Amino acid sequence: MGISNSLTITQPDDWHLHLRSGELLQRVVPYSAQHFGRAIVMPNLQPPVVRTVDALNYREQIFAALPAGSHFKPLMTLYMTEQTDAEDVRAGYLSGDVAAVKLYPAGATTNSDAGVKDLTKIYPVLAVMEEIGMPFLVHGEVVDADVDIFDREAMFIETKLIPVRKQFPKLKIVFEHLTTKEGVDYVQSCAENTAATVTPHHLVINRNALLVGGIKPHYYCLPVAKRESHRLALRAAVTSGDQRFFLGTDSAPHFDGAKEAACGCAGIFNVANTVSVVAEVFEQENALDKLEGFLSLHGPAFYGLPVNTAKLQLTRNEAALAAPAKLVLPDGEITHFDPMMDLHWDVSDISTAD
Q: Which residues are catalytic?
A: 250
Contact partner at residue 244 from ligand NCD, Zn ion, none, CB < 5 to 8 Å by partner kind: none
CA dihedral over 164, 180, 204, 346, signed as positive or negative: negative
Choice between 147 and 301, CB closer to ligand NCD: 147
18/269 Cα distance (integer angstroms): 9
Instruction: Work out whether 109 is an interface residue with ligand NCD (CB under 6 A).
Output: yes
Is 14 labeled as ligand-binding? no
Interface mask toward ligand NCD for 139-178; x: CB under 6 A: x---------------------------------------
φ/ψ bin of 340: left (φ > 0), alpha (ψ from -120 to 50), beta (otherwise): left
Residue choice 19, 78, 221, 275 for contact with ligand NCD (CB under 6 A): 221
Q: What share of the chain is helix, strand, coil (3-state, %, to 5)?
A: 40, 20, 45
**Considering CB distances under 5 to 8 angstroms, the limit depending on partner class, which of ligand NCD, Zn ion, none binds residue 109?**
ligand NCD
Nearer to ligand NCD, 241 or 264 (CB): 264
User: How far does CA 169 lie from the centroid of its chain?
Assistant: 24
248 binds ligand NCD (CB under 6 A): no
Q: Is 250 in the site for Zn ion (CB under 5 A)?
A: yes
Strands of 189-259 (E only): list them.
194-198, 245-247
Question: For 329-352, what is the HEC assignment?
Answer: ECCEEECECCCCCCCCEEEEEEEC
Least CB distance to ligand NCD at residue 329 (A): 16
Q: How far is the CB of 24 from ligand NCD (least distance, A)?
A: 11
- How far is 352 from 311, CA to CA, in rounded Å? 6
d(CA 65, CA 32): 12
Stretch that binds Zn ion, among 153-161, 244-252, 269-277, 294-302 (CB under 5 A): 244-252
User: Closer CB to Zn ion, residue 202 or residue 231?
Assistant: 202
Residues annotated as binding site for Zn(2+)? 16, 18, 102, 139, 177, 250
Q: Which residues bind Zn ion (CB under 5 A)?
A: 250
